[in-house]
Structures are given as structure tokens and as C-alpha cells.
């Protein structure tokens, strides 16, 4: 390639001499034509081979980096994984890997650029002697300046990426909890916080762009002004008789111009690519920092070391595996790090084959005990011995990754149909699976978003049972199950023939009525074990137990289990819609005006000004070339003035360039970047709840990370390059046509061929780009899901399984990238052959029309022809980059223009000013209300009619799928209104006539899955910043969280990281504190105490009784004891009202549904207490809580 490049200098010189000197024989012309053919064909072939090797390197290196990042993720300590978070982890893969591969792509070109500069200087010495030192010193000075500026690019890039990380962390937290955010009407407040982070990010982007602009200007000064310096030095030395210099004729001017042009190419390359290379080094440093994060010591060797402990050799030499697990802790103290201790002085021996139940108050260390057994916490002191052939874990928050339901149960275990069916039946999943259109082959959404809380928990239990592990750890897995389902699952697992009978099992539970079934009971408090032994021994020792409480039901995350059909359809939609969404984008990309949308975000004034500056920049550059032809034709008259004029034009060109690049950074960072992100965020936050449940977080996050990255940098830079190259290429063809007019007849033909070739390439390239972008979504989703479910993945020792999943996704995404790069290679080779044909045509016409060809115009044509192939390549690849980048813009526009949940004001909508004091009493009326989730689904609620007087408390209960949470969702208008019939009236106002935001702001809701986002405790409790610290502390005291928050170093400023800073029960308490601070007339509690022990639950009931007097309280509860003293009870069955009355009245009828549900938890009317049962009175003195064996002692 280098040889071919410098051969062009000789070709230009000899062709101009051939035209200028008529004494040269015509045979030389034939030789020159042959030389042109050989040189340009060699260039085409060598360019192809080089590019193919570079593309292979990009694909392989990107795959290696991505694989290394994922493998490291699997080895991170739990604390490190929490600190990194899902959002930042995704940034490493989506941003940093791409920057590293794109930066190292140019590494070969940079060393080649240095060699090119050296060879060009040697040739310049040969042609101009000491004149060579003028441009050389000039270049060295500029390179020094460029390198100095470039050294600041890396830190600027780091600062920008760090700002991206902060935004993505908050976005990940928010996007993962969009449902409670929308129900709480927190969209505007959180959008303000996200946009504030985006503003900081764009400030860092502007600083980065300014540095890139300076570096780009300096590099162009080198390439543009070097020839001015060369000419000036030549003229000065020639005028003073220094050196043996030949007069400046046309041939010598354009020979020097060609050499300096070749010299300018690598100068431009170095100037343009050094910032990118520095930026790639910055990203590589970030990746290196991630790869150096602390690892779990046994993360890779856990499988082997544990298995080895359980293997012995029998007398006949055969290996024998012990079928039991052993766990021993002696004087153990554990912490997440050296500063934070979670368990202290724990001594415990878990007997093989026994069921151990762990009870204790909220944050007493129950879950931490399981984490410590798994080796996820740091052993500060003591001895821990865990011997298990295989471990299974069902965590408090079930781990579900985007795959089929069956795959989530099997994980990496082989499929055994008979055993699988047995597990499905034992876990009560048969009916759910049968209702799914694709049965257990249905693909689940992100984190199982399309499943209810009870279904997710039973799926996690099924995975633990199917694993056939000898050590099973279950963390509060019955909290979301109704009483009958819980009884069935518990009996199937731990009954006489239970599937976990004979397994060493540790069950963390708040269902203390199960304790008599335990072989051993562990009572915990404040991170220590207070009692350990059989149930009778622990009870006799004076342990304080909570009275009976089991699960009635749960519709997790504020989402109804609805009907099984509803869940089935939703789950199916997730799988189908991903393909539909990508296909839809593919069809619509050219129709929705991505360019107009981007220009609108930039602003008319900014866009017009930028286009005008680009035109002026290019026009002055073309005029400088035309001026050079006049200089060459001046016959040496007033050469100094001609050179000075040329220098002035070049300076003006550079000035326009600097202004253009700086204005470009100003417009991009000041207008486009913030506006395009704000529009996309607003579209997502305003979207219907039905859209949110159908789209995985990974897919949405991809639009805010990768696509925004394209909009921030790749697309605008490609547009600038395209505009400059268009004008430059037009100028080149004009000069070539002026030199060889007959070629003008071939230009239309060449243009048609080029157009159709480009069209063919763009169609293919855009498809590959879409495939590439689409194939990265599952990769990022898996990465984020693995970070959040890392403990479960390691507990099952499924690292190899997930590495294989990651490899599959990497292959798909890198395969799409490989195809896209291959398409670019096709274009590059086509353009090189195009250049070859054009160069040979010019040579043939020049030789043929030797007598009529202008040497000056020929000099310009041939010198520009040297770089034409690269110019055309840059033109078409930049255009292709613009088109491919428009796909990302189009995807952003798609989200920015999503149909809004509220379509705007309607004629019957009440003005907000007329509702300033609404609701004042909290009266609630459902009038013949029905709703369905989709037109093709049966009703989830059927003709609900009941009234609740303001200030009263109503408890809603019922079996799974009865419609409890559908009722709550309807109250917040979470369903499209065309799917609703009947009315819901609050204080005499039909809620369908109330502005949606105002309706939701008028109520408070606490969901079962606690909504805490990536912010401080203060920001989480007071999202809209209207409460004082004193009020916040008072609310924390009421919900028993004052001491826990006071113990933190930063108190209210403590950062809640990915919801893992507190236990689930503590997070529910914090959400309850938020509801108290919000102080709304209607408060909805949707399983808000499901993860609390009975004692804490009782305290919260007291808070509800004392602090919510005069408020209308609507509570969905699986614990009947939570709502038994409420004013009204609503029992739902299959979407209809089964019972509605006072709890005492319902309990007085043993045949009532409510009485039967209560009886499963030991709650009876005083007149129907079983004989011989121990009795405890509830707060109202009329209803009794009774268990056969369990009382406070």
C-alpha cells in the first residue's frame, strides 16, 4: 500500500512532464497508462487484504473483551456487583467495548502514518533539498501540539463516561420500576432528576467535543498549511539563491503539492485518530478497573473444592459421593466488607437431612445467614465449613432471566420429563402452565415481569426442587402465596413424602405456624442467633414467636395475576413483540423522518448556521485549490504575492473550520443532546402501563445507552464528514472534468453506477445495522440480569451455563457486526476499483489529447486523483454511517412519539382548578364496574358494585387470580379506558373525568415490590422535596426504621444502590414511611407487609390504626391478621364480589369464604374457636387469633 501510494507521486510528475514537454516520445504515454493501471490495481488489492484483516481483528477483539467482562461479572464479590450496578455494567459493554475496538482499529494506520511521513520527507528532500525542513519542523511542532491536546482528550472522555454511568444507574433503577412510579405520579419529579444528570453529562460532552475540535483543527493546519510553508520556503530560498533549486514550474509545483498532500493524509489521520485512540485508552482503563474489582475467592473453584470434600474412595477403588450436606459455623463473624458486619459470633451446626427454619424480625440477619453459607459475605473471623455436592437457592426476590419458563426451571440441569412433571405439580404450577398458549415454552419478560409475585416464587421453588441438590436454601418463598397454594406447596415439599424430605434444607420464613414441622428452629435478632434447637426446646427456652400468619395471596408488583389467560397472553407477547418491534423498525426507518426529528431537536437556527458554516468552509477550500492552478500558470511573475495570497486563503479556510467545529460542539451539547434525550424520556414515562409490561428493561435501556451514544457522537460526526466530503468530491470531479473535458460524458454513467451500487450497499448495510443493534439488547439484558441475580447463579454453580448463554449472544451480535463490516469492505473495494477506472481513463484521455490538455488543470486533477479513492470511500462510508446512525435516531424517535397514556384533555374532563380540594372525604364507590386487559381477553373484573365511606379501612382478599390487584390498578386508571365499563367515583367525582396525573397524585400506594430508586434515603422518601428532615425522621420512627437509618454513616444522605442497601422488609417499611409523608386522603397498601415478621407487622398495623385515622385505607393482604380489624372486607372470586361485609360478621359465618381463608391462618370468631386451642385476643377485642401449638411464651 505504501509503495503504491508513493508511486503516484512519480506518475503525477511524469504525466505533467509528458503534457508540458512535447519532445517526449509518444511511447512514454503508453508506458504511463500501463503504470497507472498496475499501481491502482495494486492499491485496490492491497487495500482489500488489509481491510479484511482489520475487520477480523475488530470482531475477535470485541468478542474477547465482552467475554472477559461477563466472565469477570460472574466472579465479582456481592458488594462489588452492587456498587457497579446494572446500569454501569451495561455501559462497559455498550460504550467502552465499542470505543476500544474502534480506537484500536486505527492503531495500524497510525504507525503506517509515521512511516508515510518519513518517506514523504525523503522524497521532499530529493525534490526540494533543504526546503524539506520547513514543513518537517512545522509538522513536528503541530504534532507536538496535537499530542498535548490529545493527552487531555482521555481524561475528558473519562469524565464524560463517568457522567454517563451516573445517568444510566439512575435510569436503570427507574426503568425497572416504572409501574409504581406511574401509579405514584412520580414521573415528572424523576424526569427532572434524570434530566439534571443528563445536563451534567452534556457539559462533559461539550468539554470533550471542544478538545476534539482543537485537535482536529491542529491536524488540518498541518495538512493544509504544510504546502503553504513549503511554497514560501521554496520561494524565499529560490529568491536568495540558497541551495541548488530548480525554478517553480507546473510540474514541480504539483509534484511538491502531491508529496505534501500525501504527507497531509497521515497528519490528518493522526490528528483525527489520536483523540479517538486516547479515548479508547480511557475506555480500556475503565475496563481494566472493572476487571480489577475484588472477586469472590472461590468463585471459579467452588464446584471442584466442594465436590472434593464429599468424595471418598471405597475399598474397591470406586468413587463414592456422600448423599448429604453438612454446614458448620464456629464463632463466625461476617460482613459485606471490613467495615460492615452483618452477622456476629455465629455458632451453628446444621444436621444433615433435616429441615431448619429461620425466624426473626426485619433485618435480623436471616437472609445474611443464607448468603454467608453460600460464601457471599466476607468471613471476618471464625471457621465456616460447607460441604455440599450441589446447592439450590430460592431467594426472596426470585431470579428470573429472559428465557423460557422451562429453561428458568431447568437452568443447566438435564431434562427429566417424569421428574419435571412431578416438580410442576408439587409447586402448584400445573394450572398456570396449562393456561399458557405455549405452555412452559413461553418466553418470560425481564425479571419475570409478566408473571405475578406468586408465580415467580413458585418458579424459583420449582428450580430449587428440580436441581436435586442436597443443600436447599429457601428465603421467605411463601410470602406471595395464598393460603391454599401455600399449604399445597409446603405439604408437597416437606410432608411425609415431600420432595425435599431427606434434604438438608434451610427455610427463612415469617410463617411461624410452620415451625412445628421443623426439625430445628433458628431464632435471630440483630445479626446473632439467640435460640437454636427443636421447636419445643426453643419455645420452652423463652423465644418470642409471632402468632400464626401464612399467605393468602399476592399479586406482586402491583400487578394482578388476573386470569391465567391474561398472564399467558402477556408472556407470549414479550416473545413475539421483540421480533415484531425490530421488524417494525426495519420497515419504518425511512418513513418517520429521523433527520427532521434530529434537526428539530437541534433547532432551526443552529442547524441552518451549521450548514452555512460547513458550506463556507468547503467553498473556501475548493477556491484555494483553484487559486493554486492560477499560481502555477503565473509563469513566476510576483510569485511571492501569489504565495501570500494562497496562504491567506488557506488561513481563512482553517478559520472557518475552527469556527464550524466549535459551533458544532456548542449545538450538539447545548441543544441536540439534551433535547433528544428529554424527548425520549418523556415518551417512555408517558407511555401506557400496558406498553411498560411488554418491554423488557434491557430493551428500553439499550435505547438510552447505545442509541443515545450514536446520537451524541457517531451520527453528528458522520454527518459533518459526509457534508465536507460531498463538497470536496464535487470539486474533485469539476477539476478532473476541466482537465479532461471528454470525461464529462462518462460522469453520468459513473454516477448511475455509483448510485445503484450505493443503493445496494445501503439496503444491506441498514439491515445489518438493525440486526446489530437488535442483537445487542439480549446481550445487555443478560448482563444486567446476571448482575442482579449473581448470588443465585453462583449458588447453582451455573456460571458455565450463563457463560454459554453470553457466548451465544456475543456470537449473534458480533456476527451482525461482521456482516456490516463486510458490507463496508465491499463498498471500499468497489470505490477503489472505481478510482482505478477513473485514473486509467484520465491517463488514457490525457495521452490521447496531449496537445489540448492544460498542464495546470491536469496537475490539480492528478493531484486530487491521488486521494480520490479515499475521498469517495469517506464520502460513501460517511453517508452510510449517517443512514445507519439514522436507525438509532429513528429508534429514539419511536420512543419519543409513543402513544401517551392520557391522550390529552377531553370535553368531559374536569379542570384541575375545580378539583383543588378533591378528594376531601375519601368516599369510594364502584358502580357496575368491569374491565379487561385486552379486547380479546375475558373480563378480569365483572360488575363490581360496592361503596366505602370516607375514613374507613377496607381489606381486599381472595384466592390467586381473583382480581384484587386489578381492582387497585383500575382505581389508578392503569387500564385503557376503552377496556372499562361502569364507573369508579371518589367524593362524587367520576375518576374518568379527572386528569390522570391529578388522580394519581391524590392517592398514595405502597406496592409489594418496594419502589426505591438509585438516590439518597431523603430523595427516596421525599421525591418531590416538600418535607423537612424532622418530618422524615418522624416518619422513620413511626415505621421502626429510625434506628436503622441513624446507624448509617450518611444518615438520610445514604445512597440506596440498586435496592440492595436494605432487606426487603426494610424497603417495604421505607415505602410505608413515604406514604405517610405524602399524606393523601386515600392510601392503598398492596401486600405492603408481606416481607415483615409478625411483630413488625403488628407494629405497622398500629401505625395504620393510629396515624391513618380519617384516611380511606385500601389494603390487599395475604395475612388475614393484617386486615381482620378493618372496617370492611371485600372478598373477590374470579373477578366478582363474593362477599362484602364487616369482618366480624363474615367470621361469624364459618361457611363464608373469608372465614375459611382466616381459618387456614388460625383466625376464628370467638364463638368458633377449636376446642383446646390457645387463644390470643386481637386489638379490637372481638376477633381471636388461635393456633393449636404456637403462642407467645
Could you give the domains of the chain? 2-296+591-896 (1.20.1560.10), 912-920+951-961+992-1187 (3.40.50.300)
Instruction: Find, among 345, 346, 348, 369, the residue nearest to 359 by Cα.
Output: 369
Average pLDDT of 167-175? 86
| pLDDT at residue 638 greater than cutoff 80 | no
Measured CA to CA, the distance from residue 400 to residue 447 in angstroms comes to: 5
| pLDDT at residue 600 greater than cutoff 80 | yes
Q: Do the strands 1003-1006 and 1082-1086 form a parallel or antiparallel pair, or are they unpaired?
A: parallel
Residue at grid coordinates 451495561: 90
Q: Sign of dihedral through CA atoms 396, 401, 406, 410?
A: negative
Measured CA to CA, the distance from residue 12 to residue 843 in angstroms comes to: 10
1124 or 543, which is more confident? 1124
* Residues in Cβ contact with 105 at an 8 Å cutoff, skipping those fewer than 6 apart: 54, 57, 58
Residue at grid coordinates 427507574: 174
Average pLDDT of 921-935? 90
Cell numbers at residue 1128, please?
A: 370492611
Q: How is 301-325 classified by DSSP, letter by letter?
A: THHHHHHHHTEEE-TTS-EEE-S--
Q: Do the strands 378-387 and 528-533 form a parallel or antiparallel pair, or are they unpaired?
A: unpaired
Average pLDDT of 219-228? 77
Residue at grid coordinates 478532473: 736
Q: What is the pLDDT of residue 398?
A: 87
Q: Do the strands 941-948 and 471-475 form a parallel or antiparallel pair, or are they unpaired?
A: unpaired
Among 94-108, 302-316, 667-681, name the one with the lowest average pLDDT: 302-316
Measured CA to CA, the distance from residue 324 to residue 387 in angstroms comes to: 8
Quick count: other Cβ atoms within 10 Å of Cβ 468? 16
Q: What is the pLDDT of residue 601?
A: 92
Q: What is the pLDDT of residue 613?
A: 92
| pLDDT at residue 200 greater than cutoff 90 | yes
Q: What is the pLDDT of residue 201?
A: 92
| pLDDT at residue 308 greater than cutoff 80 | no
Instruction: Find, among 535, 522, 500, 514, the residue nearest to 329 by Cα.
Output: 522
Quick count: other Cβ atoms within 10 Å of Cβ 111? 9
What is the tens place of the pLDDT at every residue in 440-454?
A: 888 776 666 667 777
Of the ranges 88-92, 93-97, 411-415, the best mean pLDDT one: 411-415
Among 337-341, 767-771, 1151-1155, 1170-1174, name the one with the lowest average pLDDT: 1170-1174
What is the tens place of the pLDDT at every residue in 1056-1111?
A: 875 556 777 788 888 888 988 988 889 998 877 666 666 667 777 777 888 888 88
Measured CA to CA, the distance from residue 323 to residue 342 in angstroms comes to: 31
Backbone angles phi, psi at 216, to 5 degrees: -65, -40
* Residues in Cβ contact with 1030 at an 8 Å cutoff, skipping those fewer than 6 apart: none
Q: Is residue 853 helix, strand or coil?
A: coil
- Residue 745 CA, chain-centre distance (Å), reads 53
Q: How confident is the model at residue 566 (pLDDT cuts 50, 70, 90)?
A: very low
CB 1010, CB 1070: distance < 8 Å: yes
User: Does residue 1114 come out as left (phi exceeding 0), alpha (psi in the -120 to 50 range) or beta?
Assistant: beta
Measured CA to CA, the distance from residue 796 to residue 445 in angstroms comes to: 21
Residue 1138, CB-side half-sphere exposure with 13 Å CA sphere: 20
Q: What is the pLDDT of residue 1093?
A: 64
Q: In this structure, what DSSP letter does residue 94 have? A: I
Radius of gyration (Cα) for the chain, nearest Å? 37
What is the tens place of the pLDDT at every residue in 468-488?
A: 988 999 988 887 776 677 888
Q: Is residue 963 helix, strand or coil?
A: coil
CB 1161, CB 1176: distance < 8 Å: no
CB 371, CB 790: distance < 8 Å: no
Among 306-320, 331-345, 581-595, 674-688, name the one with the lowest average pLDDT: 306-320
Q: What is the pLDDT of residue 325?
A: 59
CB 931, CB 980: distance < 8 Å: yes
Percent of the chain scoring above 70 in pLDDT: 82
Residue at grid coordinates 490538455: 853
User: Does residue 579 come out as left (phi exceeding 0), alpha (psi in the -120 to 50 range) or beta?
Assistant: alpha
Across 222-243, b (16+ Cβ under 10 Å) vs e yields bbbbbbbbbbbbbbebbeeeee
- Please tell me the pTM assigned to this model: 0.69
* 107 to 110, 264, 277, 380, 1136: CA distances (angstroms): 5, 18, 8, 47, 69
Q: How confident is the model at residue 865 (pLDDT cuts 50, 70, 90)?
A: low
Measured CA to CA, the distance from residue 720 to residue 1011 in angstroms comes to: 44
Evaluate the omega torsion of the peptide bond into residue 919 and state whether it is cis, within 30 degrees of 0.
yes
Q: How confident is the model at residue 742 (pLDDT cuts 50, 70, 90)?
A: low
For the chain, give the number of residues: 1193
| pLDDT at residue 920 greater than cutoff 80 | yes
Virtual torsion, Cα 731, 603, 708, 150, nearest 10 deg: 60
What is the tens place of the pLDDT at every residue in 945-997?
A: 999 998 899 999 887 667 887 898 899 998 888 889 999 999 989 998 888 88
> Edge-to-edge strand order for the sheet containing 989-990?
941-948, 924-931, 980-986, 989-990
Instruction: Find, among 404, 701, 401, 406, the residue nearest to 572 by Cα.
Output: 404
Q: What is the pLDDT of residue 586?
A: 43
| pLDDT at residue 84 greater than cutoff 60 | yes
Q: What is the pLDDT of residue 926?
A: 94
* 500 to 431, 462, 491, 795: CA distances (angstroms): 22, 11, 10, 17
Helices 187-240, 639-667: inter-axial angle, 10-degree rounding: 170
Q: What is the pLDDT of residue 605?
A: 92
Q: What is the pLDDT of residue 682?
A: 92
Evaluate the omega torsion of the peptide bond into residue 643 and state whether it is cis, within 30 degrees of 0.
no
Q: In this structure, what DSSP letter does residue 1 have? A: -
What is the tens place of the pLDDT at every residue in 13-47?
A: 777 777 777 778 878 888 888 887 888 888 888 88
Measured CA to CA, the distance from residue 307 to residue 321 in angstroms comes to: 8
Please give the mean pLDDT across all residues of the chain.
78
Q: Please write down the HEC assignment for all residues of 131-187.
A: HHHHHHHHHHHHHHHHHHHHHHHHHHHHHHHHHHHHHHHHHHHHHCCHHHHHHCCCH
User: Looking at 646-748, which runs of residues are DSSP E strands?
Assistant: none
Percent of the chain scoring above 90 in pLDDT: 12
Residue at grid coordinates 498541518: 222
915 or 446, which is more confident? 915
Measured CA to CA, the distance from residue 1044 to residue 1042 in angstroms comes to: 6
Average pLDDT of 114-119? 80
CB 524, CB 506: distance < 8 Å: no
CB 1069, CB 1039: distance < 8 Å: yes
| pLDDT at residue 553 greater than cutoff 50 | no
Q: What is the pLDDT of residue 1090?
A: 63
Q: What is the pLDDT of residue 602?
A: 92
Given 3-state DSSP classes, what are the helix, strand and coil percentages for the chain, each rounded to the nearest 5?
Answer: 65, 10, 25
| pLDDT at residue 240 greater than cutoff 90 | no
Amino acid at each position: 500500500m505504501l509503495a503504491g501510494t508513493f508511486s503516484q507521486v512519480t506518475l503525477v510528475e511524469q504525466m505533467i512532464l509528458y503534457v508540458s514537454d512535447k519532445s517526449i516520445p509518444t511511447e512514454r504515454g503508453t508506458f504511463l497508462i500501463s503504470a497507472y493501471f498496475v499501481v491502482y490495481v495494486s492499491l485496490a488489492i492491497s487495500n482489500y487484504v488489509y481491510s479484511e484483516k482489520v475487520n477480523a481483528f475488530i470482531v475477535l477483539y470485541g468478542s474477547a473483551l465482552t467475554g472477559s467482562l461477563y466472565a469477570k461479572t460472574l466472579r465479582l464479590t456481592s458488594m462489588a456487583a452492587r456498587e457497579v450496578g446494572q446500569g454501569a455494567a451495561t455501559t462497559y459493554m455498550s460504550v467502552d467495548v465499542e470505543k476500544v475496538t474502534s480506537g484500536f482499529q486505527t492503531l495500524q494506520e497510525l504507525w503506517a502514518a509515521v512511516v508515510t511521513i518519513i518517506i514523504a520527507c525523503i522524497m521532499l528532500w530529493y525534490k526540494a533539498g533543504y526546503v524539506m525542513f520547513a514543513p518537517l519542523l512545522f509538522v513536528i511542532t503541530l504534532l507536538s501540539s496535537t499530542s498535548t491536546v490529545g493527552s487531555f482528550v482521555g481524561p475528558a472522555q473519562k469524565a464524560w463516561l463517568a457522567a454517563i454511568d451516573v445517568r444510566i444507574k439512575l435510569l436503570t433503577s427507574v426503568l425497572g420500576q416504572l409501574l409504581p412510579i406511574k401509579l405514584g405520579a412520580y414521573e415528572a419529579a424523576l424526569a427532572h432528576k434524570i434530566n439534571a444528570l443528563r445536563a451534567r453529562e452534556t457539559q462533559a460532552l461539550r468539554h470533550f467535543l471542544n478538545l476534539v475540535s482543537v485537535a482536529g483543527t491542529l491536524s488540518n493546519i498541518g495538512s493544509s498549511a504544510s504546502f503553504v510553508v513549503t511554497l514560501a520556503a521554496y520561494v524565499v530560498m529560490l529568491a536568495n539563491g540558497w541551495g541548488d533549486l530548480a525554478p517553480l514550474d507546473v510540474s514541480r509545483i504539483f509534484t511538491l503539492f502531491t508529496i505534501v498532500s500525501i504527507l497531509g493524509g497521515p497528519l490528518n489521520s493522526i490528528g483525527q485518530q489520536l483523540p479517538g485512540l486516547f479515548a479508547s485508552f480511557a475506555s480500556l482503563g475503565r475496563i481494566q478497573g472493572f476487571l480489577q474489582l475484588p472477586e469472590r475467592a472461590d468463585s471459579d473453584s467452588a464446584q471442584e473444592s466442594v465436590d472434593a470434600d464429599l468424595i471418598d474412595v471405597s475399598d474397591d477403588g470406586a468413587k463414592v459421593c456422600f448423599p448429604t450436606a453438612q454446614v458448620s459455623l464456629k464463632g463466625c463473624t461476617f460482613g459485606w466488607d471490613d467495615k460492615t458486619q452483618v452477622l456476629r459470633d455465629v455458632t451453628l451446626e446444621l444436621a444433615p437431612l433435616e429441615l431448619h427454619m429461620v425466624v426473626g424480625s426485619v433485618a435480623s440477619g436471616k437472609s445474611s445467614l443464607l448468603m454467608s453459607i453460600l460464601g457471599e459475605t466476607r468471613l471476618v473471623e471464625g471457621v465456616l465449613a460447607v460441604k455440599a455436592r450441589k446447592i439450590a437457592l430460592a431467594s426472596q426476590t426470585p431470579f428470573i432471566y429472559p428465557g423460557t419458563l422451562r429453561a428458568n426451571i431447568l437452568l443447566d440441569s438435564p431434562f427429566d420429563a417424569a421428574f419435571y412433571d412431578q416438580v410442576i405439580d408439587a409447586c402448584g404450577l400445573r394450572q398456570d402452565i396449562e393456561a399458557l398458549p405455549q405452555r412452559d415454552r413461553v418466553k418470560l419478560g425481564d425479571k419475570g415481569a409478566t408473571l405475578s409475585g406468586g408465580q415467580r416464587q413458585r418458579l424459583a421453588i420449582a428450580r430449587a426442587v428440580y436441581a436435586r441438590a442436597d443443600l436447599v436454601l429457601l428465603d421467605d418463598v411463601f410470602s406471595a402465596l395464598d393460603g391454599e397454594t401455600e399449604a399445597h406447596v409446603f405439604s408437597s415439599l416437606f410432608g411425609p413424602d415431600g420432595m425435599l424430605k431427606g434434604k438438608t434444607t434451610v427455610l427463612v420464613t415469617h410463617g411461624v405456624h410452620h415451625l412445628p414441622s421443623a426439625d430445628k428452629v433458628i431464632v435471630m435478632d440483630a445479626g446473632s442467633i439467640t435460640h437454636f434447637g427443636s421447636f419445643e426446646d426453643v419455645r420452652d427456652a423463652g423465644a418470642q414467636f409471632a402468632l400464626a400468619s401464612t399467605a393468602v395471596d399476592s399479586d406482586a408488583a402491583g400487578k394482578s395475576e388476573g386470569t391465567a389467560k391474561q398472564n399467558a397472553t402477556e408472556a407470549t407477547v414479550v416473545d413475539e413483540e421483540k421480533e415484531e418491534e425490530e421488524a417494525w423498525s426495519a420497515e419504518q426507518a425511512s418513513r418517520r423522518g429521523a433527520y427532521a426529528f434530529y434537526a428539530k431537536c437541534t433547532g432551526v437556527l443552529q442547524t441552518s448556521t451549521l450548514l452555512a458554516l460547513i458550506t463556507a468552509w468547503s467553498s473556501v477550500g475548493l477556491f484555494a485549490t483553484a487559486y493554486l492552478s492560477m499560481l502555477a500558470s503565473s509563469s513566476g511573475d510576483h510569485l511571492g504575492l501569489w504565495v501570500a495570497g494562497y496562504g491567506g486563503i488557506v488561513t481563512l479556510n482553517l478559520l472557518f473550520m475552527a469556527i464550524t467545529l466549535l459551533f458544532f460542539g456548542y449545538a450538539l451539547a447545548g441543544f441536540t443532546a439534551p433535547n433528544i434525550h428529554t424527548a425520549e424520556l418523556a415518551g417512555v414515562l408517558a407511555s401506557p402501563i400496558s406498553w411498560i409490561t411488554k418491554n423488557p428493561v434491557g430493551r428500553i435501556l439499550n435505547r438510552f445507552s447505545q442509541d443515545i451514544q450514536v446520537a451524541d457522537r457517531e451520527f453528528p460526526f458522520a454527518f459533518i464528514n459526509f457534508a465536507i466530503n460531498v463538497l470536496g468530491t464535487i470539486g474533485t470531479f469539476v477539476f478532473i472534468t476541466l482537465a479532461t473535458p471528454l470525461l464529462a460524458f462518462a460522469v453520468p454513467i459513473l454516477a448511475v453506477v455509483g448510485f445503484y451500487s450505493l443503493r445496494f450497499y445501503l439496503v444491506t448495510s441498514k439491515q445489518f445495522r438493525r440486526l446489530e443493534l437488535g442483537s445487542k439488547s439480549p446481550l445487555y439484558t443478560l448482563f444486567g440480569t446476571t448482575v442482579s441475580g449473581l448470588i443465585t447463579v453462583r449458588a447453582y454453580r451455573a456460571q458455565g451455563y450463563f457463560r454459554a448463554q453470553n457466548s451465544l449472544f456475543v456470537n449473534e451480535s458480533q456476527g451482525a457486526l461482521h456482516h456490516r463490516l463486510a458490507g463496508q469492505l465491499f463498498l471500499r473495494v468497489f470505490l477503489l476499483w472505481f478510482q482505478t477506472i477513473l485514473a486509467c481513463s484520465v491517463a488514457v484521455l490525457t495521452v490521447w489529447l496531449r496537445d489540448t490538455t492544460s498542464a495546470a488543470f491536469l496537475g490539480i486533477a492528478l493531484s486530487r486523483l491521488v486521494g480520490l479513492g479515499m475521498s469517495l470511500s469517506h464520502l460513501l462510508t460517511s453517508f452510510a454511517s449517517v443512514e445507519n446512525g439514522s436507525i438509532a435516531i429513528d429508534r429514539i424517535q419511536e420512543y419519543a412519539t409513543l402513544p401517551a397514556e392520557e391522550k390529552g384533555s377531553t370535553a368531559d374532563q374536569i379542570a384541575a382548578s375545580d378539583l383543588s380540594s378533591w378528594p376531601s372525604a375519601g368516599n369510594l364507590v364502584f358502580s357496575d364496574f368491569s374491565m379487561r386487559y385486552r379486547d380479546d381477553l375475558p373480563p378480569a373484573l365483572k360488575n363490581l358494585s360496592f361503596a366505602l365511606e370516607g375514613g374507613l379501612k377496607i381489606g381486599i382478599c381472595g384466592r390467586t387470580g381473583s382480581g384484587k390487584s386489578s381492582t387497585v390498578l383500575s382505581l389508578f386508571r392503569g387500564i385503557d379506558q376503552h377496556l372499562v365499563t361502569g364507573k369508579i367515583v371518589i367524593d362524587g367525582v367520576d375518576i374518568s373525568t379527572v386528569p390522570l396525573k391529578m388522580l394519581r397524585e391524590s392517592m398514595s400506594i405502597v406496592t409489594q415490590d418496594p419502589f426505591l430508586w438509585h438516590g439518597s434515603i431523603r430523595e427516596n422518601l421525599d421525591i418531590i422535596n416538600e418535607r423537612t428532615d424532622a418530618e422524615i425522621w418522624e416518619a422513620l420512627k413511626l415505621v421502626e426504621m429510625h434506628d436503622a437509618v441513624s446507624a448509617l454513616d450518611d444518615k438520610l444522605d445514604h445512597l440506596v444502590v440498586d435496592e440492595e442497601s436494605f432487606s426487603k422488609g426494610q424497603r417495604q417499611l421505607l415505602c410505608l414511611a413515604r406514604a405517610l409523608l405524602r399524606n393523601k386522603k386515600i392510601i392503598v397498601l398492596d401486600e405492603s407487609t408481606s416481607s415483615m415478621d409478625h411483630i413488625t407487622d403488628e407494629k405497622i398495623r398500629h401505625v395504620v390504626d393510629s396515624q391513618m385515622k380519617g384516611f380511606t385505607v385500601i389494603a390487599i393482604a395475604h395475612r388475614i391478621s393484617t386486615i381482620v380489624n378493618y372496617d370492611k372486607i371485600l372478598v373477590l372470586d374470579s373477578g366478582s364480589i363474593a362477599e362484602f361485609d364487616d369482618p366480624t360478621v363474615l367470621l361469624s359465618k364459618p361457611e363464608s369464604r373469608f372465614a375459611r381463608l382466616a381459618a387456614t391462618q388460625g383466625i376464628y370468631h370467638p364463638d368458633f374457636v377449636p376446642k383446646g386451642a390457645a387463644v390470643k385476643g386481637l386489638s379490637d377485642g372481638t376477633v381471636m387469633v388461635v393456633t393449636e401449638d404456637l403462642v407467645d411464651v
